[in-house]
Copies of this chain bind each other. A is one copy, B any other.
Amino acid sequence: MTKPFKRILFTGAAGNLGQRLRPHLGQFADIVRLADLADLGPAGPGEETVRCDLADRDQVMAMCEGVDAILHFGGVSTEEAFAPIMQANILGTVNLYEAVHKLGIRRVVFASTNHTMGMYKTTDLVDAGMPPRPDGYYGVSKVFGESLSRYYWDRFGIETVCIRIGYCWPEATNYRQLTTWLGLDDLVQLLRRSLLTPRVGHTITFGTSDNPGRWWDDKHARFLGYKPEQSSAQFANRVPDAANWEEMQDITLTYQGGVFLHNGPKYRS
């Protein structure tokens, strides 16, 4: 069966999500080029690997050559001191879009984060038309990426789907994780939709499964046809019920960003 693309690039392949997604990427292209700063092990069938420092303009250009589309999951993916975030997430994304532009690549799927809106309250319903409210350096760096990719769409017609990924780990064990959980199969579906929908323009979509509570309204990306088939409801019984009002005074329950409220900003590297 013909695959949709000849070659796609997946950056950040050695990271947590990268490792879990790797076995699912083969359906999208004849060749999946996996990239990371860290070692990726041997390439499997239909894979090729490349070491790349995103902060290095030339390496990024080389990494992007010859691909049809990019899944950009590389960079720092948690709260950190600003220096490494700036190198990987800010300069790295600038380098990537310069390459995309010069090489005529048509579409990017950008791994953004729910921490772009972590300072919204847990009683808010957030959609993609509302102003970002990041909860730390990491979140601000992803706002930068969303804004930069918007520019490349408005000015040059390069399409990007920004996925504000929720809590994407195998299990959810507290209230916040229950609400923001994203199952791996659902993420794969969302990647598929983001890659194969004929037009995506510049779209911000929220990566969550069909969980009981919802903080995010994905209406602006409804055309993608993403329909989650997993749900955090399966983990509900692991989250204790007792309403201990004292514990519940914690600020991390008030804001969507959760523990990132305590984490950032990191002034000490």
Contacts and interface: CB of A to CB of B under 8 A. Distances in A.
Interface of A: 2-5, 68-69, 82, 86, 90-91, 94, 98, 102, 106, 119, 121-125, 129-137, 139-140, 143-144, 147-148, 150-151, 154-155, 175, 179, 195-201, 203, 211-215, 217, 219-220, 222-225, 227, 241-243, 245, 248, 253-254, 261, 264-265, 267
A241 B4 contact: yes
B133 A154 contact: yes
Contacts of A144: 90, 140, 143-144, 147
Given A213-B225, A254-B199, A155 B261 contact: yes
A267 B100 CA distance: 12
Given A2-B241, A121-B199, A196-B243, 15 more contacts: A68-B245, A82-B91, A98-B267, A102-B267, A119-B154, A122-B199, A123-B199, A129-B130, A133-B150, A134-B148, A135-B154, A139-B151, A143-B143, A197-B213, A215-B223
A253 B198 contact: yes
This chain: copies in complex: 6
Nearest to A196: B243
Contacts of A147: 132, 134, 140, 143-144
Nearest to A220: B125
A212 B222 CA distance: 9
A223 B131 contact: no
Contacts of A102: 267
B222 A198 contact: no
Contact of A243 (B4, B123, B124): B4
Return the 8 tightest CB-CB contacts between A and B, nearest first. A213-B225, A119-B154, A212-B225, A123-B201, A198-B253, A4-B243, A143-B147, A214-B222
A193 to B, nearest CB: 8
Contacts of A133: 150-151, 154
A128 to B, nearest CB: 8
B122 A136 contact: no
A2 B242 contact: yes
